[in-house]
Amino acid sequence: MRLSRYFLPVLKETPAEAQIVSHRYMLRAGMIKQQSAGIYSWLPLGFKVLRKIENIVHEEQVRAGHVPIQMPILQGADLWRESGRYDDYGQEMLRMQDRHGRDMLYTPTAEEMVTDIFRSHVSSYKDLPLTLYQIQWKFRDEIRPRFGVMRGREFYMKDGYNFDLTKEDALHAYNRHLVSYLRTYERMGLQAIPMRADSGPIGGDDTHEFLVLAETGESEVFYDSAVTDLTFGDREIDYDSHEQCRAILDEFTSKYARTDETHDEALFNAIPEERRRVARGIEVGQIFYFGTKYSEPLGATVQGPDGKPTPVHMGSHGIGVSRLLGAIIEASHDDKGIIWPEGVTPFHCGIVNLKQGDEEADAACDALYKSLTALGLEPLYDDRKERAGGKFATMDLIGLPWRITVGPRGLKNGVVELTCRRTGESEEMTPEQAVAKVAGIYEGHMVRGF
């Protein structure tokens, strides 16, 4: 993309309503525009990152054997009355009636609807296990929406639902989701710690939240600092193996890590004092096992091996896709702007022409642009007739991990400058070397379209 043809409405001043870093930078970088309290339009740069995150989530869900579907945003109230949640859910649920006077609701979560799909089409234990998931807009009418996309009313979410014959199988689905989530977050450059949490209106006894440590987090968290030394890395896991998935869960949850709702002071004090940590965290996902909480009232049964109807064991598993943008920025920024991890950056590399209109500089930038594009990379070429300082400020604000700077002086020596946004370090090299180095950096970070 050439910046002269792109829609990037950057702001020089910080909007007064933006209280935290991610909200300030998303507004200033022209990623979002507020339409009403807690509801945003996603502008091209923000929408591009949103899609990168969504595709990573899809890839890791499919890798784990989960099947994508798409359910409607509006639900009928009758299913929620069947489960007993319609009156219990609270004012966060947006209720309405259609023209025929039927009670409807804007989806805050979809346990009832997916259970209805399951009970309509699955009748035998031979069709299990089954996990269905979707990525869809949700709405919860927060009383005080704030912090931009971190605490909005409308949000983009992956919600998945497993159906299993036994509790043992359903807990394997729980463990499998934990493993897939660890992979998902690390691919986005995040360390998301699974912490014992409260189930809230979803219900169930087993649940972990995934939290990214940040000063602006809405949750107080208590943890053993040893959990921050754990990484999933490149290990290959057989998702069908109960033993392998259980071993990963044990590894990542055996150290103390809890949100304030489930904090146990006695257990916390048993940790060596030098490893006790109290901090703030941003929730970016949660997994639940709730057994037959929904299958029994909704009649989601299968014929078991003994020929008798058996209610299936279920769990639900969510990732806040839109919230992740804010969490990534909170975890990765400086006083100049965003610093995108390579896995989710909207453009792989920025190209800055220091002297737009100079024949040699223009030709060199065009050649770099074509070479990067031919390799399947997406460069953002700042071809505007702006001062160099303004171009650098824009690139720093929008946070592309790598920048190639092209100017007449360097070209006389046959070199361009490659700069790392995270460290600020620059290196002179030939254009061909710069292209090769950027391509090598992204070799392990390419996300397939879904």
Q: What is the mean pLDDT of each run of 10 residues along the chain (450 residues)?
A: 95 86 95 94 98 97 97 95 90 94 94 94 96 96 86 94 96 97 96 82 70 88 95 94 97 94 94 95 93 92 95 96 96 96 97 94 97 97 94 97 96 96 96 97 69
3 state SS of 363: helix
- The H or E element spanning position 381 is strand 379-382
CB 245 within 8 A of CB 237: yes
Whole-angstrom Cα distance, residue 167 to residue 370? 55
3 state SS of 329: helix
**Verdict on whether the full-model pTM lies above 0.95:** no
Amino acid, res. 376:
G
Paired with 34 in beta bridges are: 40
H helical segments located in 17-166: 21-28, 44-63, 77-83, 111-121
CB 282 within 8 A of CB 307: no
Q: For position 450, what pLDDT does the model report? A: 44
Q: For position 377, what pLDDT does the model report? A: 96
Q: For position 146, what pLDDT does the model report? A: 82
Phi, psi of 11 (to 5 degrees): -115, 140
Q: For position 2, what pLDDT does the model report? A: 94
CA 416 centroid distance within chain? 35
Amino acid, res. 66:
H
- CA-only gyration radius of the chain, Å: 24
The 3-state secondary structure of 281-312 reads: EEEEEEEEEEECCCHHHHCCEEECCCCCEEEC
DSSP 7-27: -----SSPPTT--SHHHHHHH
**CA torsion sign, 185 to 191 to 196 to 197?**
negative
Give the long-range contacts of residues 302-305, CB within 8 A, separation 24 or more.
302/122, 302/123, 302/124, 302/125, 302/127, 302/128, 302/165, 303/123, 303/124, 303/125, 304/125, 304/165, 305/125
Paired with 302 in beta bridges are: 310
The one-character DSSP state at 201 is G
Q: Which token pair is 252?
A: 């990542």
Whole-angstrom Cα distance, residue 52 to residue 72? 23
Whole-angstrom Cα distance, residue 115 to residue 167? 17
Q: For position 200, what pLDDT does the model report? A: 57
CA 140 centroid distance within chain? 18
Q: Which token pair is 16?
A: 């007064």
First to last CA, the chain: 21
Q: Which token pair is 257?
A: 């890590």
**CA torsion sign, 279 to 285 to 291 to 296?**
positive
Whole-angstrom Cα distance, residue 116 to residue 104? 16
pLDDT in tens, 128-137: 999 999 999 9
Q: Which token pair is 415?
A: 């070199």
Q: Which token pair is 288?
A: 């639940």
The one-character DSSP state at 151 is B
For residue 144, count other CB atoms closer than 10 A to its CB. 8
For residue 103, count other CB atoms closer than 10 A to its CB. 15
